[in-house]
Amino acid sequence: MTRGEWARATIPVWIQISEPVARSISTAGARALGDTIPEDESATAAGAFAALRRLGGTLFSLQLGQIIGQLSGEVLSGGDIGIPLLDGILEHELRAVLIPQNISAFAEGLDIPLHDVMLYLAIREIAHARLFKHSKWLKLGLVASITDYANGISINAESMRAAMSDIDLSDAEALRRLVSDGSLIPPKTDDQVIALTRIETLLALIEGWVDVVADNAAHRLPSRHAIAEMVIRNRAVGRPGEKALAGLIGIDARPRRLREAASMWRALDAAVSAEERDSVWAHPDVMPTSDDIDDPAALISRLSGHVAPPDAMDDAIRRLIDEDGTVDGN
């Protein structure tokens, strides 16, 4: 997949998760302007309010488009950001893709053959897509959680008015910065902190599981550990596009506890069968918690003897090159 194809294909999900913030910014801007207009002029100002709402939405859309374009030059694969962005054949599935141009740039400076890097990232991407295919609740649940969190972001008119008083409203660049720098996003409420922690934990569990399964599948690839470490660093540090996205919509998609989650999955991998390990993906109610990441012993105890119907996720991963686990790298 090319950078442009990735950008175009992911737009619908970006719109879904960012629309609540765009709506809040537009509404707050119109209210802030309304508070400065005398009551006897409010009727004639109605058109200005509508225009301001449209302007706010347009500025937000332009900035979102710029960030998507920036991300398209940074992502290595369809699942690289963590948010389910590329729809598969069925509603709960994801499409597995690679971005060869970005992978070539990522591999520069590494003392590792490009073919090895491409192969390892293909294994990771197919593992990621396989997980969503077998855990039918995961895609819709994760996107819904992110959208619900965004719906809780409410930008009040007073904050908007204060921000607008410091800039020249005829300066398009100043307006763009106002929308994109994150200063309008209010402090998180207690409920939002809890919701965001859940999202970050789930993203870390997904990424950690992919790390372990990919490592198992790529056990004959000598360079796998070095490539895996670079992938983890790349995700942990955060790329410019990801940071810009966090400022725009108030959500940082980086899995903050990725290393700890991967350690938990390795502990499970060593203590229980693959079927027992993967049984936790059957339903959100049985998913590991943040406490389980801290101390996997209790989770291992719960899983011992509890075997889900053999859905053979690991077998499917091992057959990733031979079966339908085709990665689109065109």
User: Which pLDDT does position 320 carry in this prediction?
Assistant: 60
* More confident position, 67 or 47: 67
Give the mean pLDDT of 48-65.
Answer: 68
**pLDDT over 70 (residue 39):** no
In a domain, 96, yes or no: yes
In a domain, 168, yes or no: yes
C-alpha distances in Å from residue 265, one per residue of 80, 165, 188, 214: 19, 51, 30, 12
In a domain, 329, yes or no: no
The widest CA-to-CA distance across the chain, in whole angstroms, is: 77
Report residue 17's pLDDT band, with 50, 70 and 90 as the boundaries: confident
User: Which pLDDT does position 308 carry in this prediction?
Assistant: 46
CA distance 168 to 261: 47
* Residue 102 identity (one-letter amino acid): N
Report residue 217's pLDDT band, with 50, 70 and 90 as the boundaries: very high
In a domain, 294, yes or no: yes
User: Which pLDDT does position 116 carry in this prediction?
Assistant: 94
In a domain, 243, yes or no: yes
CA distance 213 to 318: 10
C-alpha distances in Å from residue 299, one per residue of 134, 135, 294: 21, 19, 10
User: Which pLDDT does position 329 carry in this prediction?
Assistant: 62
Average pLDDT, rounded, for the chain: 80
* Residue 84 identity (one-letter amino acid): P
* More confident position, 305 or 262: 262
In a domain, 326, yes or no: no
Tally of domains within the chain? 1
Contact 201, 289 (CB under 8 A): yes
User: Which pLDDT does position 318 carry in this prediction?
Assistant: 59
**pLDDT over 70 (residue 30):** no
* More confident position, 305 or 23: 23
**pLDDT over 90 (residue 298):** no
Q: Which of 67-71, 228-232, 306-310 has the lowest mean pLDDT?
A: 306-310
Contact 138, 132 (CB under 8 A): yes
In a domain, 165, yes or no: yes
C-alpha distances in Å from residue 27, one per residue of 30, 39, 155, 203, 212: 5, 19, 8, 31, 45
Nearest to 297 by CA among 271, 327, 322: 271
pLDDT one-digit tens code per residue, 189-208: 888 888 888 888 998 899 99
Contact 176, 63 (CB under 8 A): yes
E strands, 132-284, in order: none
The gap from C-alpha 219 to its chain's centroid, in whole angstroms, comes to: 27
pLDDT one-digit tens code per residue, 218-266: 989 999 999 988 888 887 777 777 777 777 777 776 667 888 999 999 9
Nearest to 5 by CA among 78, 61, 64: 78
Contact 150, 249 (CB under 8 A): yes
Report residue 77's pLDDT band, with 50, 70 and 90 as the boundaries: very high
CA distance 264 to 201: 12
pLDDT one-digit tens code per residue, 267-286: 999 998 888 899 999 999 99
User: Which pLDDT does position 307 carry in this prediction?
Assistant: 45
Q: What is the DSSP letter of 77?
A: B
CA distance 209 to 267: 11
Contact 125, 79 (CB under 8 A): yes
Contact 220, 120 (CB under 8 A): no
CA distance 152 to 189: 9
* More confident position, 32 or 72: 72
**Structural domain of residue 191, as residue ranges?**
3-318
Contact 320, 217 (CB under 8 A): yes
In a domain, 217, yes or no: yes
